[in-house]
Amino acid sequence: MTQTPADPQATLIDGKAMAARVRAHVARDVATLQERHGLTPGLHVVIVGDNPASQIYVRNKVAQATEAGLASVKHELPAGTAEADLLALVARLNADPAVHGILVQLPLPPQIDEQAVIAAIAPEKDVDGFHVINAGKLATGGDGLVPCTPLGCLIMLRDRLGDLSGLDALVIGRSNIVGKPMAQLLLREHCTVTVAHSRSRNLADLCRRADIVVAAVGRAHLVQGDWIKPGATVIDVGMNRVPTPEKGAGKTRLAGDVDFAAARAVAGAITPVPGGVGPMTIACLLKNTVTAACRQAGVPLPSPDSSGDA
Ligand SMILES: NC(=O)C1=CN([C@@H]2O[C@H](COP(=O)(O)OP(=O)(O)OC[C@H]3O[C@@H](n4cnc5c(N)ncnc54)[C@H](OP(=O)(O)O)[C@@H]3O)[C@@H](O)[C@H]2O)C=CC1
Ligand SMILES: Nc1nc(=O)c2c([nH]1)NC[C@@H]1CN(c3ccc(C(=O)N[C@@H](CCC(=O)O)C(=O)O)cc3)C=[N+]21
Ligand SMILES: [Mg+2]
């Protein structure tokens, strides 16, 4: 973990490879459930409108779910869908015993209240872990469904560091879907957790004290290399499209919230973007669907303590 002159670069945390291992594990569990109980976990993904980035994510989610042996269905609704119609679909999926997981892709068009839709999903089918019941369970020590992105980050952290107890963790960002649940998970792991946001002062100093930095902001290169404590573990959740004029007009590339090249020279380990948190998010969605299906069917998880389970 310590940097020596012979090893000046941080270890890359290969989220893509780790996600493939989690998915292989999910696939084994799905096969076991089929064999022992005739149970096929079903994941239904709902997308409203034709945001191209959302279309790609949803296609990847459905394809990876299918490959792992889940029954996966995509529901595509037009951009002008009324809230009542989306709520009616959610109600139908809630009532269908073959549906174990429901994901409504965010963001939703402006005429639809996202909170109302999340609240309408049956908490036991809320594989995003966004429902207030699941958020409340995470905050109070219950075993609800945990949001996929923070869960993926935690699996990577535990793979890298083992026991996280007592470590100083900084989470940058306080959204309900990433920052807050990430902070709750790290607290559950006995870290000393600081949560920073747009009003935080001295972000650089907060960062310099952290053994673990999770950046979930949505601003390319916000976190500078000289903010990183030598040897720290850096998890970059950010997914930012930045222009690459050298590749031609209008071309972009994906970048995280961390100045990767600079941070890599100081950190002990760091996730790349792409190939870090993103693939783990999708793998954890499949994992949550299997967890949800087992609970709904009243059967035990085939392998409860596997693949860096949180
Ligand atoms: N890889 C993956 O699987 C996923 C990636 N993402 C990516 O992660 C990033 C964050 O997503 P999300 O949580 O939904 O974003 P939000 O926009 O909901 O939240 C961003 C957070 O960052 C804070 N913030 C904004 N500017 C600063 C700043 N200058 N300094 C410190 N904090 C700041 C905001 O503070 P305040 O609360 O004060 O406004 C807010 O808490 C995005 O790039 C998103 O694309 C998201 C989900 C999944
Ligand atoms: N209800 C809901 N649940 C979500 O989990 C959800 C959502 N809405 N809305 C959008 C965000 C974003 N998100 C990503 C998942 C995977 C990658 C991913 O696989 N990224 C690849 C690269 C993808 C690319 O190249 O564009 C990577 O980082 O390697 C990215 C982003 C889930 N989200
Ligand atoms: Mg948002």
Instruction: Give tens-digit pLDDT for 223-252.
Output: 999 999 999 999 999 999 999 999 999 999
**The predicted structure's pLDDT at residue 2:** 55
Residue 175 has pLDDT above 50, yes or no: yes
103 forms bridges with which residues in the sheet? 45
**The predicted structure's pLDDT at residue 305:** 59
**The predicted structure's pLDDT at residue 167:** 99
38 CA → ligand 3 middle, Å: 38
What's the Cα-to-Cα distance from 251 to each of 54, 142, 278, rounded to whole Å? 19, 45, 21
pLDDT in tens, 158-172: 999 999 999 999 999
Residue 173 is assigned to a ligand binding site: yes
pLDDT in tens, 144-158: 999 999 999 999 999
Residues in the chain: 310
Match domain 147-279 to its CATH number in 3.30.1130.10, 3.40.50.10800, 3.30.360.10, 3.40.50.720. Answer: 3.40.50.720
- Answer yes or no: 180 catalytic: no
| Lowest mean pLDDT, pick from 59-73, 229-243, 292-306 | 292-306
Dihedral class, residue 45 (left if φ above 0, else alpha if ψ from -120 to 50, else beta):
beta
Q: Which two tokens stand for residue 119?
A: 């609240």
For residues 37 and 207, what is the distance between their CA atoms, to the nearest angstrom? Answer: 49
Nearest Cα residue to atom 20 of ligand 1: 217
Residue 175 is assigned to a ligand binding site: yes
Q: What is the 8-class DSSP label of residue 129?
A: -
pLDDT category at 8 given cuts 50, 70, 90 is confident
Nearest Cα residue to atom 48 of ligand 1: 149
pLDDT category at 53 given cuts 50, 70, 90 is confident
Nearest Cα residue to atom 3 of ligand 2: 105
Q: Which residues of 252-284 are buried (b: 16+ CB within 10 A; e: fewer)?
A: eeebbbbbbebbbbbbbbbbbbebbbbbbbbbb
- For 44, residues 6+ apart whose C-beta sits below 8 A from its C-beta are 72, 73, 74, 75, 93, 99, 101, 102, 103
pLDDT category at 7 given cuts 50, 70, 90 is low
The whole-number average pLDDT for the span 36-60 is: 94
| Ligand 1 lined by 277 (C-beta under 6 Å) | yes
pLDDT averaged over every residue in the chain: 95
The whole-number average pLDDT for the span 73-81 is: 97
DSSP for 33-72 reads HHHHH----EEEEEEES--HHHHHHHHHHHHHHHHTT-EE
Which CATH number does 34-128+281-296 carry?
Answer: 3.40.50.10860
- The ranges of the chain annotated as CATH 3.40.50.10860 are 34-128+281-296
Q: The pTM is what?
A: 0.96
Residue 285 has pLDDT above 70, yes or no: yes
Residue of 203, 262, 200 whose CA lies nearest to 230: 262
76 forms bridges with which residues in the sheet? 47
- The ranges of the chain annotated as CATH 3.40.50.720 are 147-279
Residue 308 has pLDDT above 50, yes or no: no
Residue 274 has pLDDT above 60, yes or no: yes
Give the rounded percent of residues in the chain with a pLDDT score beyond 70: 96
Give the start-end residues of each E strand in 174-232.
192-196, 212-215
If one compares 249 and 88, the residue with the highest pLDDT of the two is 88
**The predicted structure's pLDDT at residue 62:** 95
| Ligand 1 lined by 196 (C-beta under 6 Å) | yes
Place of tokens 């279309």: 55
